[in-house]
Structures are given as structure tokens and as C-alpha cells.
């Protein structure tokens, strides 16, 4: 089998920990229906993870954090769950996708 090496390409990446972390999320404060509290609107890049098939208090098999604290991102291959601590990479054609911290560390280094 032939071997290949990744071309050196500079990418943009942001580590995601909670709703609104990505610089392009453009979240803003929203007043609750009862008018007593505020919360951040949903992110434009990483949305809140919501699905009727998975309870929000269930723990994720990958990171152990409850799903209520996860995000969701649409990629060219379909939607993906974003765990707190995952990196959101913007690829060479502007596409965005999540990357687990250990894979990110093995694959990328800071550009100068």
C-alpha cells in the first residue's frame, strides 16, 4: 500500500467548551419568557445538542459529560456531536468540523 504525508496547510481552530464559545457563533442575551432570567441564544456554528432519542442528563460515552452540555455542528458529512473540549476546525474550503483534543494535539501545532 502506498504511503502519503499530509501537506502543510494552515487551519483555523477554536476549542469549544460551551454554547457561544466559537467566535462566529454570534450569540446574544435573550430574556426568558417569565422575564426573570436571561440566557445565551443558540450558536450559529455550534448549536445546542438536542434530540428526543437522547436524554439531556445521560452521560456521553466519549467524555463522560451530560449531553445537555454538548453541542452539534453540521459538516459536509452530516451532523456531529461536539463534546466540551473538542476543537472546531475551519478547513481549507471554509468547512467546519469537530476534532477530539488528543487527535488535534497529534496532528496540529501552532503556526507562526
pLDDT at position 51 over 90: no
What's the pLDDT at 54? Answer: 87
Which pLDDT tens digit goes with each residue over 54-75? 888 999 999 999 999 999 999 9
Predicted TM-score of the model (pTM): 0.85
Average pLDDT over residues 82-89: 97
The rounded distance, in Å, linking the Cα atoms of 21 and 57 is: 21
Question: Rounded to 5 degrees, what are φ and ψ at 106?
Answer: -75, -25
The rounded distance, in Å, linking the Cα atoms of 100 and 108 is: 12
Amino acid at each position: 500500500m502506498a504511503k502519503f504525508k499530509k501537506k502543510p496547510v494552515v487551519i483555523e481552530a477554536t476549542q469549544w467548551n460551551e454554547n457561544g464559545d466559537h467566535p462566529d457563533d454570534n450569540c446574544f442575551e435573550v430574556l426568558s419568557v417569565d422575564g426573570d432570567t436571561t440566557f445565551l441564544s443558540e450558536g450559529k456554528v455550534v448549536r445546542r445538542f438536542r434530540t428526543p432519542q437522547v436524554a439531556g442528563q445521560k452521560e456521553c460515552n466519549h467524555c463522560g459529560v451530560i449531553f445537555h452540555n454538548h453541542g452539534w455542528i453540521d459538516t459536509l458529512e452530516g451532523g456531529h456531536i461536539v463534546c466540551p473540549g473538542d476543537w472546531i476546525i475551519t478547513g481549507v474550503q471554509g468547512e467546519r468540523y469537530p476534532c477530539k483534543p488528543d487527535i488535534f494535539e497529534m496532528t496540529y501545532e501552532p503556526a507562526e
